[in-house]
Amino acid sequence: MNYLDGLNPSQRAAVEQIEGPVMIVAGAGSGKTRVITYRVAHLIRKGVDPFNILVLTFTNKAAKEMRERIMKVVGVEAKNIWMGTFHSVFAKLLRVEAIKIGYPSNFTIYDTDDSKSLIRAILKEKQLDDKLYNANFVYNRISSSKNNLISPAEYLNNENIQAEDFSSGRGNLGEIYQIYAQRCFKAGAMDFDDLLFKTNVLLREHPEVLYKYQNKFKYLMVDEYQDTNFSQYLIVKKLAANNENICVVGDDAQSIYAFRGANIQNILNFEKDYPDLKVFKLEQNYRSTQNIVSVANSIIANNKNQLKKSVFSENEEGDKIKVSRAFSDNEEGKIVAEAIVQEQAQKGSKYHDFAILYRTNAQSRAMEEALRKLNVPYKIYGGLSFYQRKEIKDLIAYFRLTFNPNDEEALKRVINYPRRGIGDTTIERIMIAADQHNLTMWEIICDAPKYLDSRSSSSVANFASLIQSFQVMTKTHSAYDTALHIAQHSTLLKDLYSDKSVEGLSRYENIQELLNGIKEFSEREDIEEKGLDIFMQDVALLTNDDNDKNPDADTVSLMTIHSAKGLEFDNVFVVGLEENLFPSQMSLSSRTDLEEERRLFYVAITRAGKKLTLSYATSRYRWGTLTSCEPSRFIEEIDARYLELDFKPQKKNSGNSLFDDERSAWQQKETFSKPKPSSIPKTSSILPKAHVPSEGFAPSDTSGLQMGMEVEHERFGFGKVIHLEGNKPDIKATIFFKDLGQKQLLLKFAKLKIIK
């Protein structure tokens, strides 16, 4: 069968348009990956040399999947396509061209930990307050500058930036950025942002290099274009300038990475860069039921800043979207866990068919506790990746130092681990000597007797000899044999093996797993270069999405919505839908930020294939205090005909908003200020039945409350106290209400009237 025959008309038209600028607006679940892969295959079938095709993705996982699909159509020629993430592709390019901008071809790639370690060292040297100049803040400031192509010199000369820094009491940020850049350069290292920043520098300062790659990459395709930042945008624009055979694929409705520097205007304004642009819209959703698609459409319609499209589904209508209301975040976890167990038992679903999505990582706690109580297996995504574990980073630091002995972060990490008698004082002397003589730490170490006392120089010289022996080893042995030799002769393996604790055994096993991975890498047939240095480059460029060792494990997936982008599940629970949580309190000051939050909600909804449940809690602990919560405005923006409430409804079309009873109580709490009337949408919807307080209702002093007493609550009505627990001021009362059943209330917030 012809590979084009399986495409719908819109998909086929996008695939067959291979010349000129093209934008493919791909709605959620619309077969975007298929279109990209078939379009690349079609280019090759039409005679385009694979070496002249560049495909840029946002994860290595996506690139690997696309390449495998292309191979099924065109065979081994697919191996010749330049395909990968922005960072991996341009790291490869920089390995060839780096010498032109003063870097060695074997430059080290610093991860976030390396960068922050260097920043902390600079703060210590400059004797700056590490609370005011928090390493995370400084790192993010530098990262943002690079993504906007602001060099240290430009940073220091920009009056607005300097005014902002000085007004915040951080007038030394520019100097820190400058020193940080100098130290990286001296160490022959680039951080993650440098891979794009330095590529821009290379293409700007060396026209012959730009011309070379403009002629090499005659056809460009960029996936997830809505997630590109200014630095990425400019690289793509420069490379495509000659031929203008550029195709970008994306969905503005799924642009959710502004906090990383992504600029939605790149896709919204793409036509301004290419006036003869051809636009194709993929609007059929193959993933989700009609109801889920309708809910997603009703949400995103509230955004003003968007490319209009009409996403539809020809799948079954499906269940209505359930909305669950819980008294607390713990009860919300219990509701979700019980729903998963029930669905799994009734329909035979696998646990990996379920995902729980939340706005912030902290929300996982209540979900985890509830799942554990019911013995439901789960996995949290976005936690500590395998390659971020200490023992793994330690061994990789030895590898890095072997190939680039000027890598000072790697050197400082392992010079005295395992312990070899080189203490902090000696290390400090090495650093001072390097600074005084304008040499690297490695140069001082290699000539230790000249700069250090005899007692220190002996241990340091032995360390230098050890690393030099590793360097010799790399020239004659495979990646695996070299790695094993380094692990053994550094005594790192011995050190871990001697720790017989559970944690020690786990760390030792992790090292064995790393060595297994290197063995597997060295035996791969699909790559030509199999050196340990190439393996390290692959590891340095892994994204969070590439670290899952067992994607087929039968576990419920827990993750933030940002981590869920690109994934799909039959059953999805979106939890914590409350004002100031989702949408985030930080997003309520501008339309731009609020629209990004709404796009994030849209992404969450469209992960679901068959069943979607939304939930919120009416109270939640924040910073140790129980606070009342208002349901998210996003729930109210959904057309009520697609919703099913699991709490007692009132008649439809009552003219009231869905959550007026909760909002009334919420507005009376001192924890939050009242929202402006304009922020409260008036949607004709389903209203939970509300209790009308008795005449003259006033809360009683509940310090003497006892089991068996009858009480009245302003919203829940009349009930009887059946249990009390805890100590003042955090006593909890379990009360059975006539209309609602059993509820647990914290007395200091409950506002109960004692009847008798």
Active site residues: 32-33, 223-224, 254, 607
Distance, in Å, from the CA atom of 607 to the CA atom of 295, rounded to the nearest integer, reads 12
What is the total residue count of the chain? 756
Q: Beta-carbon neighbour count of residue 428 at 10 Å?
A: 10
Distance, in Å, from the CA atom of 585 to the CA atom of 664, rounded to the nearest integer, reads 20
Spatial contact of 565 and 256, defined as CB atoms under 8 Å apart: yes
List all residues 6 or more positions away from 291 whose beta carbon is below 8 Å from its beta carbon: 317, 318, 319, 320, 321, 642
Spatial contact of 60 and 543, defined as CB atoms under 8 Å apart: yes
Distance, in Å, from the CA atom of 67 to the CA atom of 35, rounded to the nearest integer, reads 13
Task: Measure Cα distances from 270 to 119, 149, 263, 277, 308 in Å.
Answer: 37, 20, 12, 8, 15
- Containing 11, the helix (H) or strand (E) segment is helix 9-16
Tell the burial category of 276 from Cβ atoms under 10 Å away from its Cβ (0-12, 13-18, 19+): exposed
Tell the burial category of 668 from Cβ atoms under 10 Å away from its Cβ (0-12, 13-18, 19+): exposed
Structure tokens at 229: 């930042």
Distance, in Å, from the CA atom of 582 to the CA atom of 596, rounded to the nearest integer, reads 11
Structure tokens at 739: 């209309």
Residue with tokens 């301004």: 272
Q: Tell me, rounded to whole angstroms, the distance of Cα 285 from its chain centroid.
A: 24
List all residues 6 or more positions away from 189 whose beta carbon is below 8 Å from its beta carbon: 107, 108, 109, 110, 114, 404, 407, 409
- Is the peptide bond prior to 729 cis by the omega test (within 30 degrees of 0)? yes
Distance, in Å, from the CA atom of 530 to the CA atom of 183, rounded to the nearest integer, reads 30
Structure tokens at 348: 């035979």
3-state secondary structure (DSSP) of residue 720: strand
Spatial contact of 745 and 730, defined as CB atoms under 8 Å apart: no
Structure tokens at 702: 């509940």
Nearest to 634 by CA among 577, 696, 551, 715: 577
Spatial contact of 234 and 149, defined as CB atoms under 8 Å apart: yes
Distance, in Å, from the CA atom of 675 to the CA atom of 378, rounded to the nearest integer, reads 37
Distance, in Å, from the CA atom of 615 to the CA atom of 364, rounded to the nearest integer, reads 14
Task: Measure Cα distances from 225 to 248, 619, 707 in Å.
Answer: 6, 39, 61
Q: What is the DSSP letter of 580?
A: B
Nearest to 531 by CA among 582, 574, 473, 576: 473
Spatial contact of 732 and 705, defined as CB atoms under 8 Å apart: no
Residue with tokens 């990209």: 36
Q: Where are the alpha helices (DSSP H) in 283-407?
A: 290-300, 329-347, 364-373, 390-403
Which residues does residue 643 pair with via DSSP β-bridges, in sequence order? 321
